[in-house]
């Protein structure tokens, strides 16, 4: 094991593992933000950790990105550490989920590690400062040439009735769309009661149409709109969402969120049962996330931007998603287990695979294992 990996494993075992996972998250995030606020340090760290391989550069959603690998929603819910996260090498950062109104989320404890499974279970419940405050924070950010791409992920305020969900998403859109490089309608978190019902096309159609309209009303430029779906959808429902996305002219789909399933875990069953409700993420999600991606690709044939997330730990995992049709990839849980050098490792591995496969660009590798572009 390289020494720098050994240092993080030691830090994880001696410090983070002994702490409540949510407290460990806040501590690690505090350090990241602190480091990125030191004059000169941010650029220096970025120089070492961020990708420099031109072949990894990619255009997706009309955005020029230094690479395909982003931080998934949920880590920076309030957009407080975008520059620090970009310093660590993420090619883009998806903030949120942000809801119409501020809310505290579920009672703690609400985040749990399953170390043997390299997984997490969370029932955070969209704890966030609300769309008005997050919009003000994004508005205050200076824009420079090194400002990373920022996706904004929105969801429903818990106390808002399902019947009023559209208005809540529209409120967030009106406040946030102008600051978003892309916008994500999250209808797939298992921790807000009823939220996932919005994935049914009869609910999703008016919701996505209203968000699209609100975004177009509030910004003169086109903000790419994506929908984020659950891995627990039946295959036919995945097809229906894909068809709807095409019908409505959506820009893409993010798949997947966490699962309510608990199959195939190595962790002690009694402990898993004791943890209780929540979304499972990390390695156990790998297989299903790939299957969902393959299904989406087969249905959409390269006509939508596909963002694959769920169980990506290594460069090989990210590569698998790319060759099966993912234009972009994201991760969250493995960041906890792999530490601050994670992005560098993934980028290095991706560069090596591009070269070994004789691909001149990342775009050339996207979907190369399915080769269905002419059929679409």
Active site residues: 189
Q: Is 252 in the site for ligand FMN (CB under 6 A)?
A: no
CA distance 292 to 239: 10
CA distance 203 to 85: 34
Strand ranges in 32-102 using DSSP code E only, listed in sequence order: 58-60, 63-65, 69-71, 92-99
Residue 260 CB, nearest approach to ligand FMN (Å): 13
Q: Is 69 in the site for ligand FMN (CB under 6 A)?
A: no
Strand ranges in 66-181 using DSSP code E only, listed in sequence order: 69-71, 92-99, 111-114, 119-122, 149-155
55 vs 188 by CB, closer to ligand FMN: 188
55 vs 341 by CB, closer to ligand FMN: 341
CA distance 366 to 327: 6
Which one of the spans 81-89, 166-174, 219-227, 332-340 is the region binding ligand FMN (CB under 6 A)? 332-340
Q: Is 150 in the site for ligand FMN (CB under 6 A)?
A: no
Q: Is 103 in the site for ligand FMN (CB under 6 A)?
A: no
118 vs 353 by CB, closer to ligand FMN: 118
Q: In this chain, which of 112, 332, 337, 342 binds ligand FMN, going by CB under 6 A?
A: 332
The continuous run of DSSP H or E covering 342 comes out as helix 342-356
69 vs 179 by CB, closer to ligand FMN: 69
55 vs 71 by CB, closer to ligand FMN: 71
Q: In this chain, which of 99, 103, 122, 320 binds ligand FMN, going by CB under 6 A?
A: 122
Is 322 buried (19+), middle (13-18) or exposed (0-12) by CB count in 10 A?
buried
> Which residue in the shown chain puts its C-beta closest to ligand FMN?
74
Q: Cβ distance 121 to 114 under 8 Å? A: yes
Q: Is 129 in the site for ligand FMN (CB under 6 A)?
A: no
Q: Is 111 in the site for ligand FMN (CB under 6 A)?
A: yes
User: How many CB atoms are located within 10 Å of the residue 352 CB?
Assistant: 13
For residues 36 to 55, the per-residue mask of contacts with ligand FMN, x marking binding by CB under 6 A and - elsewhere, is --------------------
DSSP per residue, 200-264? SHHHHHHHHHHHHHHHHHH-SSPPPEEEEE-TTS-HHHHHHHHHHHHHHT--EEEE---BS--TT
Q: In this chain, which of 281, 300, 308, 320 binds ligand FMN, going by CB under 6 A?
A: 281
282 vs 325 by CB, closer to ligand FMN: 282
Q: Cβ distance 197 to 156 under 8 Å? A: no
For residues 165 to 204, the per-residue mask of contacts with ligand FMN, x marking binding by CB under 6 A and - elsewhere, is ---------------------x--x---------------
Q: Are strands 252-255 and 58-60 parallel, antiparallel or unpaired?
A: unpaired
Please name which of 103, 85, 258, 78 lies closest in space to residue 168, comparing C-alpha atoms: 103
Q: Which SS3 state, helix, strand or coil, does residue 177 take? A: helix
- Count the site residues for ligand FMN by CB under 6 A: 28
Q: Is 28 in the site for ligand FMN (CB under 6 A)?
A: no
Site residues (vs ligand FMN, CB under 6 A): 72-74, 77, 96-97, 111, 120, 122, 124, 126, 153, 186, 189, 228, 257-258, 281-282, 285, 309-312, 331-334
């Amino acid at each position: 094991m390289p020494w720098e990996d050994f240092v993080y494993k030691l830090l994880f075992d001696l410090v983070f593992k002994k702490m409540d996972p949510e407290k460990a998250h806040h501590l690690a995030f505090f350090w990241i933000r602190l480091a990125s606020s030191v004059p000169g340090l941010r650029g220096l760290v970025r120089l070492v950790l961020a990708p420099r391989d031109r072949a990894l550069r990619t255009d997706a959603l009309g955005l020029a990105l230094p690479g395909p690998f982003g931080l998934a929603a949920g880590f920076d819910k309030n957009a407080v550490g975008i520059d620090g996260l970009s310093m660590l090498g993420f090619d883009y950062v998806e903030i949120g989920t942000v809801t119409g109104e501020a809310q505290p989320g579920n009672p703690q404890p609400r985040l749990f590690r399953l170390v043997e499974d390299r997984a997490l279970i969370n029932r955070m419940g969209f704890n966030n400062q609300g769309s008005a405050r997050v919009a003000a924070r994004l508005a205050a950010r200076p824009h420079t040439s090194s400002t990373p791409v920022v996706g904004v992920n929105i969801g429903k305020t818990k106390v808002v009735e399902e019947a009023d969900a559209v208005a809540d998403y529209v409120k967030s859109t009106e406040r946030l769309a102008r600051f978003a490089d892309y916008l994500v309608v999250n209808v797939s978190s298992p921790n807000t009661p009823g939220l996932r019902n919005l994935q049914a096309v009869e609910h999703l159609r008016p919701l996505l149409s209203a968000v699209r309209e609100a975004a177009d009303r509030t910004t003169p430029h086109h903000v790419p709109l994506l929908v984020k779906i659950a891995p627990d959808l039946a295959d036919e429902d995945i097809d229906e969402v894909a068809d709807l996305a095409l019908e409505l002219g959506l820009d893409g789909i993010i798949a997947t969120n966490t699962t309510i399933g608990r199959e195939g875990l190595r962790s002690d069953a009694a402990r898993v049962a004791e943890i209780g409700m929540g979304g499972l993420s990390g390695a156990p999600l790998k297989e299903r996330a790939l299957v969902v991606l393959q299904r989406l690709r087969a249905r959409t044939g390269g006509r939508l931007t596909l963002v694959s997330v769920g169980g990506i730990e290594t460069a090989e995992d990210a590569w698998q998603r790319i060759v099966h049709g993912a234009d972009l990839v994201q991760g969250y849980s493995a960041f906890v287990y792999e530490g601050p050098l994670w992005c560098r490792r993934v980028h290095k591995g991706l560069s090596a695979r591009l070269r070994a496969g004789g691909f001149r660009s990342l775009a050339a590798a996207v979907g190369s294992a399915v080769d269905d572009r002419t059929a679409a």
